A and B are shown apart, each in its own frame.
Chain A
């Protein structure tokens, strides 16, 4: 080669090619990516005859240049309705002292006792900052706080991602720490203490003294530390796979202060009620596997999650989403989820009168044996100007099951493990 500077070939070709195709030679300038993206959604969650929740979600994302992203989110929800207290149905109507100690409520004969004092409004705020540090590294940090009447939660989280292999492989490591303060209405119940009733006492003062005996002073706290490592691998042009391992360690107050257990005799007759008690530490492992693929006119994913902890709760979750684009501006999505859980070792649907009290006990069906499934449909419509509307409707059913407990006497007449059926409806607007 006689050319002294080979670099000049590229420059000469740039000139020659531009003159050939008649385009201006202006250097490409990328418009700065500093758009705001706002999502607003309202969601309704309704269990048949039980909890109803309305939720408003606001999410703002703001990019600063190409490498930084701020994400702010606010969620306000309002809960009303009744939830299962943990007590069992009886042939007679049952009267319960409210958690506050002030007043009582009565449950009809044959019905699963639901506590209807449940009203609350919760506000959650979170902020997250993501920074692309360089071609290979991405980091993020975030803060979180939520407040409801009897509960305060504050958290910090952070994570780092490293890309390898021309972005075909991503390793992620993240961690979170949450500090919660629990200050239940009426105070925290003394573990497995017996519920007292105004009718058993001659005066308000005597009743109040007895009630106070079942309560602890002040609030309590709970600390949660989560660590997660994950790998995402692009398999080929259309498929990717993700695998995560998560470790979660919780210590502190994990008892549900509003849950109770019936204490029944051999005939299934309730003799009294005791406040539940759960261990103050929990270590949970989970493994998550997911594959996601781009199809002609659609996207599909399948995932499996296995989770186990030292309360002996083991769960399996199978889930899939299939999205089909009827047109580039309109899609439909099918969501199926199946969940199966094995009860906590201290779960029991009731206590037997006369037996020695266990150290820990809970009749909360949510930590019992159960299966659950979700069937959902979602539609998304892209509007002009980049706006998008989505509509989601889901049916969710939890089917609690007996964990192998013998059911004595009259309790056999009742469904102690009733299904909980719920509808989720959501409308979102992005602009």
Chain B
């Protein structure tokens, strides 16, 4: 539908009519992003998609640790100097702090130094134990100091909002869409993290992939309102001497969590909460299912 398409080479923004409305898609945060809009007016759909794209890009630019010159880059290059932050960044830090406490230190946005030792790109050997002990010295969010407008990171510590950022972008985008167009149901899907802020009478059909069989949706579920997030990536592990090391690193030991699920999908009232519960359950290793059951949320766990 040439008339309805906006094509940008880099971001691949496109919009296509569907039976139920419009499907908008683009790339951001290293993921394919989709916005499903139960809207019949192409003009409104175009505006919605533009809003979603702008918001996703804004959050990526602001909080990605791979983009030079943004607030995260400045913090990671502060060398022990306190740096000013704005309200939005403060809220994200406060949330990360709460998650650190709730998970008893298992979820830690300051674990960058450790994570970079573990490369799950087919490497056949483990990081050196001495490197791990060395890296752990620079890890531990409890050593961060946060005030209303400044953050202080000890020298050598760096932070990464990768474990929250995409879910946060989904919720923010969903919230903005719902505020501006309260009468239209939308589904915001950034790389599998999903939110539906306005109830859709017949629901949206969402497929959950089985990490072992990526070609087929392993389960279909209907979402009327709420959010869903998945933690876990496929085919990412190191195998050394017949022992498999998964990609979920315990920041306290510096080693992969044993018997972690391949993936965990959680349904919750918003995407940030769903994502955090999914991540925390992964960190529980063999107890992932028991943990989620205790939380009283709907979930789907795949194990290898």
B-binding residues in A (CB < 8 A): 1-3, 6-7, 9-10, 12-14, 16-23, 28, 30-31, 33, 166-168, 234, 236-237, 294, 296-297, 299, 323, 325-329, 331, 382
Contacts and interface: CB of A to CB of B under 8 A. Distances in A.
Contacts of A23: 171, 175, 270
B294 interface: yes
B104 A21 contact: no
A10 B295 CA distance: 6
Interface in B98-122: 98-99, 102-104
Contacts of A9: 102-103, 277, 280, 295
Contact of B168 (A6, A21, A28): A21
20 contacts: A3-B102, A3-B104, A6-B295, A9-B103, A10-B268, A10-B297, A14-B268, A16-B94, A17-B270, A20-B91, A20-B272, A21-B168, A21-B171, A21-B172, A21-B175, A21-B270, A28-B226, A237-B220, A328-B18, A328-B22
Contacts of B280: 9
Contacts of A323: 19
Contacts of A296: 16
Given A17-B95, A20-B91, A327 B296 contact: no
DSSP majority for the B interface? mixed
Contact of A16 (B40, B95, B201, B217): B95
Contacts of B171: 17, 20-21, 23
A166 B95 contact: no
Nearest to B295: A10
A16 B99 contact: yes
A2 B219 contact: no
Contact of A237 (B39, B94, B207): B207
A14 B271 CA distance: 10
Contact of A326 (B17, B207, B219, B291): B17
A390 to B, nearest CB: 14
B226 A17 contact: no
B17 A17 contact: no
B10 interface: no
B216 A236 contact: yes
B236 interface: no
Given A166-B221, A328-B45, 12 more contacts: A6-B294, A10-B297, A12-B102, A17-B95, A17-B171, A17-B272, A20-B272, A28-B226, A168-B219, A299-B19, A328-B18, A328-B21
Nearest to B219: A166
Interface in B199-216: 199, 201, 207, 215-216
Interface size class of B (residues with CB under 8 A): 35 or more
B19 A328 contact: yes
Contact of A325 (B18, B94, B226): B18
A294 B19 CA distance: 9
Q: Which 4 A-B pairs have the closest CB atoms?
A: A10-B295, A17-B273, A17-B272, A329-B40
Nearest to B170: A21
B40 A382 contact: yes
Contacts of B39: 328
B220 A13 contact: no
A327 B42 contact: yes
Contacts of B151: none
Contacts of A13: 98-99, 102, 273, 276-277
A106 to B, nearest CB: 55
A342 to B, nearest CB: 39
A16 B273 CA distance: 8
Contacts of A18: 269-270
Interface in B289-304: 291, 294-297
A223 B144 CA distance: 83
Contacts of A327: 1, 4, 17, 40, 42
A14 B297 CA distance: 12
B17 A297 contact: yes
B181 interface: no
A20 B168 CA distance: 8
B225 interface: yes
Contacts of A297: 1, 16-18
A360 to B, nearest CB: 49
A18 B175 CA distance: 11
Contacts of A236: 215-217
A168 B208 CA distance: 13
Contacts of A1: 104
B142 to A, nearest CB: 14
B272 A33 contact: no
B224 interface: yes
A294 B224 CA distance: 20
A2 B104 contact: yes
Contacts of B268: 10, 14
A19 B199 CA distance: 21
B82 interface: no
A325 B17 CA distance: 7
B19 A28 contact: no
Contacts of B269: 14, 18, 28
B20 interface: yes
Contacts of B95: 16-17, 19-20
Nearest to A331: B19
A30 B20 contact: no
Contacts of B4: 327
Interface string B243-277: 00000000000000000000000001110110011
